[in-house]
Structures are given as C-alpha cells and as structure tokens.
Amino acid sequence: MAAEEMIQAEGLTKAYGSTQALAGVDFAVPAGTILGLLGPNGAGKTTAVRILTTLAVPDAGRGTVAGFDVVRQPGEVRRHIGVAAQDATLDPLLTGRQNLVLVGELSDMGRGAARARASELLAQFELTDAADRVLKGYSGGMRRRLDLAASMMTRPPVLFLDEPTTGLDPTSRSRVWDAIRELLGDGVTVLLTTQYLDEADALAHRIVVVDHGRVIADGTPMELKEASRSAHLEVTLSSPDVAAVGAIAPLVAGKVHVSDDGRRLSAGVDASTGLATAVVRALDAAGVTVDNIEVRQPSLDDVFFSLTGGHIELEEFGDMDGSSADGSGGDGSGRRDGSGGDDEVGTTTTSASASEFEEVRT
C-alpha cells in the first residue's frame, strides 16, 4: 500500500510547550491526487505540514513522503518536495527572478537550468514584467504566486501548499486555483491546507478535517456531505394546507417548520435518495398541491460547522468574516460559487441556509 501513497502520516503527535498542536493524526495521499487538509486556525494543519516538510520533528508517530521517512531521511524528502509556506518565505531584497534562481541553485539545479526554469515559471505565473523588480514592491498576490513558483522550481513530485490563497483577492485566488488544477495533469501529488471550505471542495479529491490536533473527518467532499446527514427539504405549496405537515412528517428527521404565510415547509432530512418522489406522492395522497420542491445537499460549510462545533455559533461566523475581510472579499465570492454548485435546485446562500438549519433543528 505504501508504494502508492506519496504522503503518509501515522499517529503524528506534536506539542509546543503546553499546547498540543497534534494529538495523533493519520492520513494518506495517493500519488497524483490532492488532499485538502481543512480546519480552523490553530487546528494543527501547519504543524502537520511542518513535520512532513522536515521543518519540525514529531514527538511521536511517523511521516513518509515519496517513500522516505521525514525524520530519518530528511535529505531525500527535501529532494522530492516543493513547499509554499503560509508566511511568504522569499527574500524581500532580491528580485523575483533572483529568488527563483537562488532556490534552484540551492536545490542543485545548476545555474543555467535554474535560470531557464525561473523564466518559464515567471511567464506561467504572469510575473515576467515584475521579474527584475525587488520583492519589496510586490503585491500580496504577486508574492504568493512567486512563492508558488518557487515551490515548483525543481518540478517536485510532491507539493505542500499551506493556505496558498489566504489573504488573496478573488482574481489572484482563482489564478492560484488554476495553477493547482494544472499540476494534476502532470501527476503531481498535492497536500493543500486551507480554512476555506469552498477551496477544499473545488480542488481536493479527498478532505481531511482536523480540529484541536485530531482528524475529525476523512473522505471525499461528497462522502463528507452525505455523512453530515443534514440534507434539507423545502416544499412550497400552492396554498396553505394543514394536512401537508402530517403528510411529510414521517419522511423527515425532526420538526417540520412552517413559514408565516403557511405555504413554505422546511425540514432536515437524513437521506435524500428517492425523497422527492416520496414527498410528492405523500402530499398528493393527502390532496395537497405542490408548486415547488427542493432537496438541497449540505454545503461543506454545513458539514464543517457540524463537525467542528456541533452548533453554528455567531462567534464563528464573526471569525470567518474577519478572515474574509483580510482576504479582500475573496472568501465571500468564492463561497457563493461553492454552495451554488452544491445546490440541487435551490439558490439560497450558505449563511442564510445555515441560520434556517438552526431554526429547524431546535
């Protein structure tokens, strides 16, 4: 099995002083796939990346990258990885080109090869015009793109991208997404950490959710949504009808919520397969006419919040808003895209549906 897993973490444990950053984390990334390591700030994502990129030594557990042990064979691991860390890790006094060439030379590429590769990457990341400017004059988005380019200098088979889009505007963000998608075609294995749910949903084959140093969920984006069992049924009646609640109650989980005008019924549902048909039949049998019916799959936001908090608290939304403000609104627009893709019929925005959920569950 190990041969096909390009990145493997087994029981990784790490404490910084009295803070338990990782409390036994396991995951594996098969060759040629993207794993999204998802979690709130301080969940342990960066610590896991630091261990797997040989920057930190685990207290317990084992990590392998491209078949090499990160503790016992750090040199081999470093030859096979590219890293774009969360903090910009480039030299502010060098030009973009000098930075890339330096990274190439220090990776034994040879000066000529490093120069050629640097030019190629600068063109691909649309940094050619800024290539010979000192990094101090770069915008945040340009630095991130250069950081990403630096991680790809040696064409490594394994890439670690630690929150590559945090703090980026929407345009830069989608450029980075495109770059990551292009890597896939070349068989590169990627470990991507992010606190943006839509990012993991859009890019990752598999998602591992970490919180407080532990893995709390592991699966494909679809599996995670299924597992959260929080699909949502919404029925719009032609006219208010008291029989409707009784007709659909056996089919849903929990209480049926009726809107003030009596025409809209909503409820959480466990399984969505065949549900719409069953609901229509039940309502028809009760003599109720239906205008519209929606069964909405949960967005990853719903999954994430139900996994990490159990409840959706206003405070958490405050935090998310705070980070999206840093990201110049990139979060907002991205999330809309993400939840739009999840909706089967509905077009409600995620935050609106989240508050509805709370209402329905209580």
Give the Cα separation of 240 and 288 in Å (integer). Answer: 9
Q: How far is the CB of 197 from another protein (least distance, A)?
A: 23
Give the Cα separation of 182 and 149 in Å (integer). Answer: 13
Residue span 3-42 as binding mask against another protein, x where in contact by CB under 8 A, dash where not: -------------x--------------------------
Phi, psi of 193 (to 5 degrees): -100, 145
Q: How far is the CB of 176 from another protein (least distance, A)?
A: 9
| Tokens describing residue 25 | 């984390």
Is 54 a residue that touches another protein (CB under 8 A)? yes
Is 245 a residue that touches another protein (CB under 8 A)? no
**Minimum CB distance to another protein smaller for 134 or for 280:** 134
Give the Cα separation of 26 and 69 in Å (integer). Answer: 15
Is 182 a residue that touches another protein (CB under 8 A)? yes
Q: How far is the CB of 85 from another protein (least distance, A)?
A: 6
For residue 342, give the nearest of 235, 225, 253, 228 by alpha carbon: 225
Q: How far is the CB of 179 from another protein (least distance, A)?
A: 6
Residue span 119-158 as binding mask against another protein, x where in contact by CB under 8 A, dash where not: --x-xxxx-------x---------------x-x-xxxx-
Give the Cα separation of 49 and 56 in Å (integer). Answer: 9
**Minimum CB distance to another protein smaller for 102 or for 258:** 102
CA distances from 271 to 93, 169, 279 (A): 57, 37, 13
- Candidates 9, 38, 56, 209: give the one binding another protein (CB under 8 A): 56
For residue 193, give the nearest of 34, 57, 356 by alpha carbon: 34
**Minimum CB distance to another protein smaller for 98 or for 349:** 98
**With b meaning 16 or more CB within 10 Å and e meaning fewer, what string describes 83-102?**
bbbbebebeeeebbbbbbbb
Q: How far is the CB of 88 from another protein (least distance, A)?
A: 6
Give how many residues touch another protein by CB under 8 A: 52
Is 179 a residue that touches another protein (CB under 8 A)? yes
- Contact status, residue 5 vs residue 52, Cβ threshold 8 Å: no
The residues, ordered by sequence, that sit 6+ positions from 91 with a Cβ below 8 Å of its Cβ are 98, 99, 102, 135
- Contacts to another protein by CB under 8 A: 16, 50, 53-57, 75, 78-81, 83, 85, 87-94, 98, 102-103, 105-110, 121, 123-126, 134, 150, 152, 154-157, 175, 178-179, 182-183, 185-188
